């Protein structure tokens, strides 16, 4: 059940003389369900609430990077949401719908025309689609989220260094070192996992310690709580690690990650150059089997990390 309010305002959108229409949509049922879940988390697993707060910031700035750059280069995104599933609250202002959904597991920006053959909704102008933009503008939009995450991590590391007593210039220099340490460490861990996956799977079943140990939300929540209790410096460092790791992993050239979309742009441009035909389009959907495999691996990695974390906590 939802309630919708409509309010007309004379503010102009810069594209026409028409006033911008603003409407609100609220679902009391899903809002109450989400509030109850957050309350339960606060009562029974407060460390999880801290992790949700940290990841919420990381996700929001990531998606905000996509949104702002997309609008800057002429695209017209139609949706900007934190969460998935049923809507809790949303506001439609002009052609953009912004809001919160019930499952706080991520976020997204919807840009029309992400594939060459996507059918546009009524009222959507082809000129404002993703596919109508040039390669440089598409690449800037796709990479914006990851870049914002890396910049946020850099700022967090720099502030932590400064609070520990380092000079301003030294804080910035060391922050770049911290950033590279997390990026390279994440890459080395993934490479070790790929090249030694048999041992990793065996450790998941037998209970032995693998060469690479990933963290599930259980251990991440515990570390987040400890970082917050330790003070601003540790909280900033942990936030920087989360933001940097998420930004770096999203750069992997695998669909459906941002890096996969960036790779498709490069593939399309190469095909155009080889065929000497700028009308050539590369449809990322041809890589759907790889996208499904990537999601399967990520889910499997998360579940195996959860098994190891629960085992180390003595839950079974």
For 46-78, what is each residue's pLDDT tens digit?
999 999 999 999 999 999 999 999 999 999 999
At 13 the pLDDT is 46
* Whole-Å CA distances, 121 to 118, 124, 153, 161, 221: 9, 6, 37, 49, 40
Helix (H) or strand (E) holding 107: strand 96-110
How wide is the angle at C-alpha 177 spanned by C-alphas 175 and 180, nearest 5°? 110
DSSP conformation letters of 277-299: -TT----GGGGHHHHHHHHHHHH
* Under-70 pLDDT residues of the chain: 1-19, 314-316
Domain boundaries, the chain: 131-312
- Per-residue pLDDT of 230-259, as tens digits, reads 999 999 999 999 999 999 999 999 999 999
Q: Which residues contact 70 (CB under 8 A, 6 or more apart)?
A: 77, 109, 111, 130, 141, 144
In this prediction, residue 79 carries a pLDDT of: 97
| Helix locations, the chain, DSSP H | 28-44, 46-72, 135-163, 168-195, 197-206, 217-230, 232-250, 258-275, 288-312
- What per-residue confidence (pLDDT) applies to 316? 56
- Supply 125's token pair: 């102008």
CA 30: distance to chain centroid? 23
Q: pTM for this one?
A: 0.90
């Amino acid at each position: 059940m939802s309630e919708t309010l409509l309010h007309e305002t004379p503010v102009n959108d810069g594209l026409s003389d028409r006033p911008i229409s603003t409407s609100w949509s609220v679902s009391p049922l899903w809002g109450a369900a989400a509030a109850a879940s957050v309350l339960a988390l606060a009562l029974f697993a407060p460390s999880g609430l801290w992790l949700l707060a940290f990841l919420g910031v990381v996700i929001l700035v990531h998606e905000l990077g996509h949104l702002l750059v997309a609008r800057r280069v002429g695209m017209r995104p139609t949706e900007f949401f934190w969460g998935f599933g049923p809507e809790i609250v949303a506001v439609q202002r002009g052609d953009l719908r912004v809001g919160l959904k019930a499952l706080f597991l991520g976020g997204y920006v919807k840009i029309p025309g992400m594939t060459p053959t996507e059918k546009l909704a009524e009222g959507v102008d082809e000129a404002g689609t993703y596919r109508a933009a040039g390669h440089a503008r598409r690449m800037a939009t796709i990479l914006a989220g990851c870049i914002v995450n890396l910049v946020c991590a850099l700022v967090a590391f720099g502030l932590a260094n400064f609070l520990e007593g380092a000079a301003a210039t030294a804080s910035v220099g060391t922050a770049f070192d911290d950033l590279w340490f997390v990026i390279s460490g994440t890459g080395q861990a993934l490479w070790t996992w790929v090249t030694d996956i048999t041992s990793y799977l065996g450790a998941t079943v037998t209970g032995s310690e693998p060469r690479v140990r990933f963290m599930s939300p259980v251990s991440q929540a515990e570390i987040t709580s400890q970082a917050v209790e330790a003070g601003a410096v540790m909280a900033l460092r942990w936030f920087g690690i989360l933001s940097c790791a998420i930004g770096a992993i999203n750069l992997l050239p695998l669909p459906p990650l941002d890096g996969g979309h960036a790779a498709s742009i490069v593939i399309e441009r190469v095909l155009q150059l080889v065929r000497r035909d700028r009308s050539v389009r590369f449809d990322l959907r041809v890589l759907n089997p790889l996208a499904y495999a990537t999601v399967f691996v990520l889910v499997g990695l998360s579940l195996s990390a959860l098994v190891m974390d629960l085992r180390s906590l003595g839950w079974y």
